Amino acid sequence: MLTISAARAVIDGRTVAATLTVRDGIIESILEGTTTPGADVVLGDDRVLLPGAVDTHVHLNEPGRTHWEGFATGTRAGAAGGVTTIIDMPLNCIPPTTTPEALATKRAAARGKLAVDVGFWGGAVPDNLGHLAELWEAGVFGFKCFLLPSGVDEFAPLDPSQFAAAMTEVARLDGLMIVHAEDQGTLEAAPHRPSRAYADFLLSRPDAAEVAAIRRVIDTMRETGARTHLLHLSSARALEMIAAARTEGLPLTVESCPHYLCLEAEAIPDAAAQYKCCPPIRDHGNRDALWQALEEGLIDTVVTDHSPAGPEDKFAGGGDLQQAWGGIAGLQVGYTAMLDEAARRGHGPADVAGWMAGATADLVGLTDRGRIAVGARADLVAYAPGTVTRVRAEDLEHRHPISAWDGRLLQGSIAGVWLAGTPYDRTTPPRGSELTRPRTPAQEASR
């Protein structure tokens, strides 16, 4: 048994004094309003006890592109940054997770390497339409699709008719479709001249591409009834349309990312490929509008979209941003960066834990984590708001020392992590588990 006493703990959206009892990795009891000096772990006023983050958008890339990232390095980065559960994306690995056989290959590659618990998204591509139920039965948490080329040949996009067919399948399963929503035709019409200028890269990925694709997603939701989640929203110009879809009662959820909420185009230097991602980091006013949407509940979750690559791909073109691989490596930094930026905007740790732990866990049905509650896993983080973190890419645990956060000064730091009640540090042997999707009663009944 383990007892943790904290002067400040985030429980049910409140920050209160509490003493937790943990048995066999599960929170057995919580005594609010008091601290216990004789507890095994005592956290004073200079620490806040948070739930571990649940990051539902991470590219671990193994097998096949383990030279970009892998289960061992990626999950260590997560644990070091307070991310205690990861749901891994179905592409950038080879084979992509689009068949039960590919899922089995991925699970075999993960075995014995996981620092934290990891589950898997499946992919919806032209070749597996009509067979999504097989992946669903194998335990994926939902299906990712692209409405434009994904950047890797082995994970093809869905055209409008294929997207409608996939959404019909997902609705029949009572599953979840997660969508990279940018419109290919709009992007093809945008200027794409070779350039080292970040402003030119922005012109090549206009807001209009997100707006057009999200309109198609909403129209298809209306036709099929499929539960749908918009990935990595970067453009505030789509918010009015999203709000209208919610008012209509469509089952639409939305995520954004720390790099869209903490960084801004005006501060990004030219030829700095570490900042390139698709859709892109936009301007200061756009960032403020995204924050307003997050505060109002129009954006539901915040995830890192950790998508690293090796230097030969990330810096392809020698500074030409059209050639560089697009993706932000931020798994270890995202929780701290959001806690820092949220504090600047008048939000406390309870808000950030809600966006990055509770809401993300609920999105994928993992109600046993993402919160400090009786019966939940004791995946916990001690956050030190009075300290300062100077991010150094070479000190981060992910595979390559490349990050848009390099050199950034953040208020606060992750001072301790417990995985199912066991303290974590980088010497801890891998003890994470492979997760499968929990079934709801309705899903069990439909089998």
367-371, 412-416, 420-424, 442-446: least confident range: 442-446
Q: What average pLDDT does the structure give for the chain?
A: 97
pLDDT in tens, 227-236: 999 999 999 9
pLDDT in tens, 266-302: 999 999 999 999 999 999 999 999 999 999 999 999 9
* Measured distance CA(200)–CA(269) in Å, rounded: 12
- Nearest residue to 132 via CA among 154, 162, 87: 162
For the chain, give every domain's residue range. Answer: 2-43, 53-370+389-394
Residue 34's pLDDT is 85
* Measured distance CA(409)–CA(190) in Å, rounded: 35
Residue 159's pLDDT is 98
142-156, 183-197, 397-411, 427-441: least confident range: 427-441
CB 385 within 8 A of CB 52: no
Residue range 47-70: mean pLDDT, rounded: 98
Radius of gyration for the chain, computed over Cα atoms and rounded to the nearest angstrom: 21
* Measured distance CA(257)–CA(290) in Å, rounded: 10
* Measured distance CA(389)–CA(391) in Å, rounded: 6
Residue range 124-139: mean pLDDT, rounded: 98
pLDDT in tens, 173-205: 999 999 999 999 999 999 999 999 999 999 999
Question: 53-370+389-394 — its CATH code?
Answer: 3.20.20.140
Q: What is the pTM of this model?
A: 0.97
Q: What percent of the chain has pLDDT over 90?
A: 97
